[in-house]
Amino acid sequence: MKVRKRTSYKKDARRKHHHWQVTLFYKDGETFGRVYTDHEKAASFAERQKKSPVVKMARVTRIS
């Protein structure tokens, strides 16, 4: 069995983009998550949700 070498992110044809998860934490204890492939869209969604009075916190994390 042949072992493949690790490729860099830029040269790996299988991975064209990162994934960004927006996690919303509501004041009643509920959570909600949504995944984006564009960091700017994820950040703007989180900022827009933070304006709501029922949202306690919004977090953007890279998941891949």
Token digits for 57?
């916190």
- Whether 61 shows a pLDDT value over 80: the answer reads yes
Q: Are 28 and 45 in contact (CB under 8 A)?
A: no
pLDDT in tens, 15-59: 677 899 999 999 999 999 999 999 999 999 999 999 999 999 999
- Position 42 scores a pLDDT of 97
Whether 46 contacts 60, CB under 8 Å: yes
For residue 9, pLDDT beyond 70? no
